[in-house]
Amino acid sequence: MRPWYLGNTTVRSPFRLRDGLIALANSPLGGRIKGRENEIAFAWVLHNSGVVNIVRPDANVSDLGRKWRAALSQLGFIYPEVPAREGIPQNEIGEPFTITPNGRRLIDADNVPGMQECFLRSLAAYYIPSALERGYTFRVFSPLRHTLALMMDLERHTGDTTLNFLEMGLYVQMTSSDNPLNEVVSSILAFRSDRMHSTNKRRFDQTALNAAAGEHKYVAGTFKDYADTNLRYLKATGLVQSKGRGISVVAEKKVFVEQLLADTSIPDSDRSILITICKGAALPTDNRDAAIVVLNDLVSQINRRGISYTIADRPVHTPADIAVLRHEIEHTLAELNEDEYAERQAQEWIEILQYMDLLINPRCRPVRGNDDSITIPQTEAPAYFEWILWRAFLAIDSLVNKPYTARRFKIDHEFLPVGTAPGNGPDLIFEFEDFVVVVEVTLTESSRQEAAEGEPVRRHVAELAIQYDKPVYGMFLANRIDSNTAETFRIGVWYTRDDTRMRLDIIPFTLAQFKAFFEAMFTSRNVRVAAIRDLLDTCSTLRQDLHAPEWKTKIAQAVQAKASALMEM
């Protein structure tokens, strides 16, 4: 059997599709991204917008443009070109490769829940086989509903909706609604039992993959590649979250999932499938009665969390009225969850160090328990750089501001980063009782580092120094500090509009240096925010009468000395 997959294996990170869509919308290429020259032009639009990185200017990048076009078409964010053999008039679908209503909705979504709803509407409308997805032997079905139904049935057998990575790869994506639900679940549970009793789980997994490869005539790695893509796109809907190397249904969404699964109807034609995926599927909460059920469940959840919330005096006449209340509660629950996540970071300092190791040396692959390894997708490294510094300062604790005001990048319901912080301010702002740390990070290491970061970092620190009635420090981190960048911060001067001269304290550290200091604090169990300020003050004092290379050396020595002192306490 041919395995099915959601999304696109080229664009593994679903939220990047929004960035690509925005780049297309801001270009003159709308509707003109087919053909070698147009595909090359589209690829360069993506590159110039920071969505992809074309390393060689002379490379043939038409393939890149073609794959992005396919990814956006497949989920209905741009109108697909309907093959003539299908007999569906193109004008009944829309002008090929122009942005669809669901694509516009994704562009306009300014928060993660809004983006997740767009992916949910796409995947809820995604049925295969269809006019765009031939080559399957099963009848038309919804991969999203099939997966969710299996997860909910697993809960009935085990008390847990968790579906593991290999279970997705070897069973879920190799089955459809043609396969009785109980038989698929039984196969998954038998696989779990055999694996649990195996003495060498890595060998057991590889044997299972090799057996599937032989049976279905695919390379073993294909099952893992498709499973990885499927899990990523399923999580983009907001209905499921990571659980080890697999996924589980988000607790707050179970009632919604049950309502989604209650609709077992199948579209009556390929034309209907194409039209619906381009405008986005209707969801249970678009109906008032179903929306009220979901709302009442959310009210119960937030009340159980110790927050009194009533809808008695609020309008609930329409689905739109109810949506306002749902979003209020979901936002409050998200903040509660983030507060709890922040409190856990002090116990997760070893994992924080492992992520830092991955950013310092991408070839490093630290492994943790439950057969799970942590990784950073190559295209998302800048976002993970900001994210791991956020986690590090949450672990240090003592913040006056809330965790969701300390970061300027968006996170999903698993607290993972969704893109980097916007460019009109600093990456991170950590306010303590008697001082503020403004953190800026970059993976740029060449002389371009100063050109890209020198002015914005100084401006951001200066703006916050004016705003706060307490000392404001800048902390700039990169894997390598270019001496031109260090010199700019060593001078540390900013002039306001009225030519008032400001002295700025911006200290450049390598990530390895920060990691060493962070590790020393936690290893010695001497985690004090005062130690951070002491290090910043020391490094600031050292900058006088030095050139940038000498100052960098002194900073490295100060970090080592302060870390050693912590270990000796």
Domain containing 541: what range?
A: 343-568
Is residue 431 within 8 A of residue 465, CB to CB? The reply is: no
Query: Looking at residue 375, what is its pLDDT?
Result: 83
d(C-alpha 93, C-alpha 118), whole Å: 19
> Do 330 and 347 have their domain in common?
no
Q: Which of 287, 532, 260, 272 is nearest to 389 (CA)?
A: 532
Query: Looking at residue 370, what is its pLDDT?
Result: 45
pLDDT tens, 233-290?
999 999 999 888 899 999 889 999 999 999 999 999 999 999 999 999 999 999 999 9
With tokens 């009944």, the residue in question is 92
Query: Looking at residue 486, what is its pLDDT?
Result: 96
Q: Which of 341, 336, 323 is nearest to 283 (CA)?
A: 323
Coil vs helix vs strand at 274: helix
Coil vs helix vs strand at 287: coil
pLDDT tens, 189-219?
999 999 999 999 999 999 999 999 999 999 9
| Structure-token pair, residue 473 | 């420090």
d(C-alpha 247, C-alpha 440), whole Å: 32
Is residue 476 within 8 A of residue 509, CB to CB? The reply is: yes
| Structure-token pair, residue 85 | 């053999």
DSSP 120-139: HHHHHT--BSBTTB----SP
- Would you write out the chain's pLDDT as a tens digit for each of its 569 residues? 789 989 877 788 899 999 999 999 999 998 999 999 999 999 999 999 888 888 777 778 999 999 999 999 999 999 999 999 999 999 999 999 999 999 999 999 988 889 999 999 999 999 999 998 888 889 999 999 999 999 999 999 999 999 999 999 999 999 999 999 999 999 999 999 999 999 999 999 999 999 999 999 999 999 999 999 999 999 999 999 988 889 999 988 999 999 999 999 999 999 999 999 999 999 999 999 999 999 999 999 999 999 998 898 899 999 999 999 999 998 899 999 999 999 999 999 999 999 999 999 987 765 554 445 688 887 889 999 999 999 999 999 889 999 999 999 999 888 999 889 988 899 999 999 999 999 999 999 888 899 999 999 999 999 999 999 999 999 999 999 999 999 999 999 999 999 999 999 999 999 999 999 999 999 999 999 999 999 999 999 999 889 999 999 999 999 999 999 999 87
d(C-alpha 466, C-alpha 496), whole Å: 10
Count of the separate structural domains present in the chain:
3
> Do 235 and 317 have their domain in common?
no
Cβ neighbours of 154 (radius 10 Å): 22
Residue 485 is classified by DSSP as H
- Long-range CB pairs of 107-113 (<8 Å, 24+ gap) are 107/18, 107/21, 107/22, 107/25, 109/18, 111/410, 112/238, 112/410, 112/411, 112/412, 112/413, 112/418, 113/238, 113/327, 113/330
> Do 259 and 370 have their domain in common?
no
> Do 355 and 462 have their domain in common?
yes
Q: Which residues have a Cβ under 8 Å from the Cβ of 539 and sit 6 or more positions away?
A: 507, 554, 555, 558
Q: Which of 212, 224, 299 is nearest to 255 (CA)?
A: 299
Coil vs helix vs strand at 495: strand
492 class by beta-carbon count within 10 Å (0-12 exposed, 13-18 middle, 19+ buried): middle
> Do 362 and 250 have their domain in common?
no
- Helices 36-48, 62-74: inter-axial angle, 10-degree rounding: 80
> Do 328 and 407 have their domain in common?
no
CATH number at residue 228: 1.10.10.2090
Coil vs helix vs strand at 161: coil
DSSP 47-99: HHTTSS----TTS--HHHHHHHHHHHHHTTSBPPPPPGGG---GGGT-STTSB
| Structure-token pair, residue 99 | 């942005």
b/e map 379-394, b = 16+ CB within 10 Å: ebebbbbbbbbbbbbb
> Do 305 and 328 have their domain in common?
yes
From 298, 314, 337, give the residue that closes a domain. Answer: 337
> Do 349 and 400 have their domain in common?
yes
> Do 221 and 311 have their domain in common?
no
Is omega for the bond preceding 80 within 30 degrees of 0, making it cis? no
- 320 within some domain: yes
d(C-alpha 427, C-alpha 409), whole Å: 7
> Do 305 and 384 have their domain in common?
no
- 247 within some domain: yes
Q: Half-sphere exposure of 261 toward its Cβ, with a 13 Å CA cutoff?
A: 19
| Structure-token pair, residue 25 | 């919308």
> Do 365 and 258 have their domain in common?
no
CATH number at residue 471: 3.40.91.50
Q: Half-sphere exposure of 371 toward its Cβ, with a 13 Å CA cutoff?
A: 14
- 518 within some domain: yes
Query: Looking at residue 368, what is its pLDDT?
Result: 54
